[in-house]
Amino acid sequence: MTLKKTQIDKDKLNQIVTDARRNQELREQSYRGQALKLYPWVCGRCAREFDHKNLTELTVHHKNHNHDDNPSDGSNWELLCLYCHDNEHSRYEETRFGNNSQTGKSTVSVATHNPFADLKALMDSKK
């Protein structure tokens, strides 16, 4: 009986994942298509130009990082190439989860030892 229940649970889970992916793709196609009609096919950061051959490398970035905020005027979107888009999200994650200089806390250790501090004195004593 547990084997049958496990199979049903797996089937339900697979269906949920499939539905979620399909809905996400439909949502993305909707705002991606709109953004490609509104904006020139140029990366908003590095100014790389795109054509039909490499258009798959141009992504829609949500300025406020909310993927459900898709106004029809495109005010929350900008077109970014894959590389600039990844960079933007990496920077966002760094400020969100750490390495945020605005918190006043530094997570980077500062070197206090200076191996060349007495070098001039040592050089002068060798003369």
pLDDT tens-digit readout, 30-58? 888 889 989 999 999 999 999 999 999 99
With pLDDT > 90 as the criterion, what percentage of the chain qualifies?
39
Structural domain boundaries of the chain? 2-99
pLDDT for 96 beyond 90: no
pLDDT for 24 beyond 60: yes
The residue that leads in pLDDT, 64 or 72, is 64
Please tell me the total number of residues recorded for the chain in this structure.
127
The residue that leads in pLDDT, 19 or 113, is 19
Nearest to 79 by CA among 58, 51, 48: 58
**Alpha carbon 69 to chain centroid distance?**
17
Domain at 2-99, CATH from 1.20.120, 3.30.70, 3.40.1350, 3.40.1800: 3.40.1800
Average pLDDT over residues 86-99: 85
DSSP-assigned states of every residue in the chain: -HHHHHHHHHHHHHHHHHHHHHHHHHHHHHHHHHHHHHS-SB-TTT--B--TTTGGGEEEEETTS-TT---TT-TTEEEEEHHHHHHHHHHHHHHHHS--GGGS---SPPP---TTTTHHHHHHHH-
Q: What does each C-alpha distance from 62 to 15, 31, 71, 85, 107 come to in angstroms? A: 28, 10, 11, 10, 29
Q: What is the pTM of this model?
A: 0.56
Average pLDDT over residues 5-29: 81
With pLDDT > 70 as the criterion, what percentage of the chain qualifies?
83
